[in-house]
Every structure is written in C-alpha cells, then in structure tokens.
Amino acid sequence: MPHRFPLNTDKAPNAVLEVILRLKVKDAMSKTIFSAKKNDNLRQIQHIMRDKGVTGIPILEDDRLIGMISVNDIISALDYGYINEPADNYMTKSLIVLEDDMPLSFAVSYFDKYPYRRFPVINKEKKFVGMISSRDVLSALLHELNNEITELENKLNNGRNDVPGSITREYSIQKFDFENAGKASFELKKILKGLNASRQVVRRASVASYELEINIAIHSNGGKMRFEIDESNIIIEAVDFGPGIEDVDLVVQEGYSTANEWIRSMGFGAGMGLSNTKRVADEFEIQSELGKGTHIKSIIYLGGRDEA
C-alpha cells in the first residue's frame, strides 16, 4: 500500500490523537441498517441493495451477525446463475468486525489493513449494532476536528490580554454553523453573571450578543465576536469578513430581511436582529463596506440604563 494513514505517529499533535481516541466506533457508525436473513435469496438481497443504494448487506439471525453479502457476491450469482438461491450458501462467513466501544483509531487502521470499504460493528454482547464506512469515519473526524480546533483557537485568543479591571474575549464564528452559533453569547452571559451584573443588564447583553452572533452565521462569510468588559461598559463587537452591506440604514429597519425560506425554517431571518440589538443597547454603531465586511459595535452600560 503506497500511503499508510498517518495514525499515532510521533509528529501527530495531541489534539488530533485525543480526538481519534475519544471518538468511539459507535459515534461514527451508521445505525440505520438494511439487513437480510440467511434463507432470503440473493435476488431479494440484490433488490435491497438497489432500492437502498447500499453495497453490502449483513445477514442476521436474532440480532447476531452470521455473514455478509457484497455486490461482488451478487455479480458472481448473476454470472453463474444462482441468484435465486438462499444467501446462506454464498455469504462470507469469516468476517472482520469492529466493536462499538473501540476508539475510532481502530477503524482507521482497519481501513489501512484490509481491502474492505465497510466493516460490521458488534457490541460487547456480540449483537450486531451497525456498519461503519470510510465515509462515516471521514464525516465524524471532520466534525470533531472542527469543534476541537475552534475551541483551541478560542482558548489561544482569550484571557491573554486581560488587564486588571477589564476582561477581553474573542470567538470565531463559522458561516452556517447553527450547531455552535450562540456559544460565544453563552460565555458572555456566564462572565456577566460572575460579575454580578443585574438581571436586566445580563439579559440585554445576551440578546444583543446572540442576535449579532446569529447574524454572522447566517449572513456573513464568517467572522468574530469580541467582548470587552471594563468597570462601566460591556462592549460587544461583531466583525465579519464580508460580503458587506450596501445600505446600512435599510438593514436596521425592523422587518427588512434577505433571509431565505431555509433560514426562516430554523426560526431566524425575521428581519428583527439588528433592530433588536439596537433596542437593547445603550450605544450602537454599524460600519460596512461592500466586498470587505461589517463591523458592529454595541455598548451596554454595566450599571444599567441611565434613567436621567
């Protein structure tokens, strides 16, 4: 084999090693599996493959895996004319399986070692629980690495520049990452609660921050949330890398929206985000340049609204 996967090498960073050891086979495997019984004939199994778009069918007997039929087995059956015979006589019985509690690194090394494109997965009680393909591994790894690296970046940026009496935090926000959008605002809320800010102030800052954070995820090519809290102000800034806004007066109007039905279906895009932010903030500034990006700064007074 020309390339071995660079697994567990001396050069691998700890964060990556940690991810492939922390992730288990069961976190990546597909649990929706189409199976057959040993008395089903190969024609029936071929139909399952065709209808469900899969290339390997596990043969089960009471939750136990007793064999596999692959596309190659079906092709041979068609070639040699035994397509109407039961799976029992033709299935592969000596199987290489993974256990669901094994770290994902085992799955990766199996793909290196064996020519198969998928492996059946069983649990401790030897019950069949799923299948894992290289696609499943790739998807789970990328997903976890994204989270891990975002967290590392945030750690790198935070806490270093704090001077006495002031707290600074910065978080990067990815485009369309609705799974993680809101985490930065959650951190801000925690900090403010720790500072014993009043309920109203925490709430207003949370609303401003969350709207701005969601805006970056929906409308921009990605960007950053930056918080700076000193003795008197909570400064919440949203900076993105484009595409920029043509008419900033228009976008702060309530009801103005460029969101599509997909975004609306997630409960966003009502055209209220910026007007909401403006309403809860004591100071609000927006600057934008087409092709460059947008910078929004909203300030909330730590001591509450000036009632004068």
The alpha helices in 132-182, defined as continuous H runs, are: 134-157
CA distances, 229 to each of 189, 250, 275, 300 (Å): 12, 30, 23, 10
Q: Residue 122 or 181: which CB sits closer to other proteins?
A: 181
Please, are residues 221 and 240 in contact by the beta-carbon 8 Å criterion? yes
Q: Residue 211 or 237: which CB sits closer to other proteins?
A: 211
Q: Residue 96 or 266: which CB sits closer to other proteins?
A: 266
Q: How far is the CB of 50 from other proteins (least distance, A)?
A: 29
Residue type, 168: T
Residue bearing tokens 């700076």: 228
Q: How far is the CB of 96 from other proteins (least distance, A)?
A: 30
Q: How far is the CB of 257 from other proteins (least distance, A)?
A: 8
Q: How far is the CB of 22 from other proteins (least distance, A)?
A: 16
Q: Residue 5 or 262: which CB sits closer to other proteins?
A: 262
Contacts of 185 (CB under 8 A, 6+ apart): 206, 209, 210, 213, 225
Q: Residue 38 or 278: which CB sits closer to other proteins?
A: 278
Q: Residue 181 or 299: which CB sits closer to other proteins?
A: 181
What are the two backbone dihedrals, phi and then psi, of residue 3, each rounded to the nearest 5 degrees? Answer: -115, 125
Q: How far is the CB of 264 from other proteins (least distance, A)?
A: 7
Q: How far is the CB of 266 from other proteins (least distance, A)?
A: 6
**What is the rounded CA–CA span in Å between residue 227 and residue 167?**
8
Could you list the residues that contact other proteins (CB under 8 A)? 178-179, 181-182, 185-186, 189, 199, 203, 206-207, 210-211, 214, 254-255, 261, 264-268, 270, 272-273, 276, 279
Helix orientation angle between 134-157 and 104-113, rounded to the nearest 10 degrees: 130
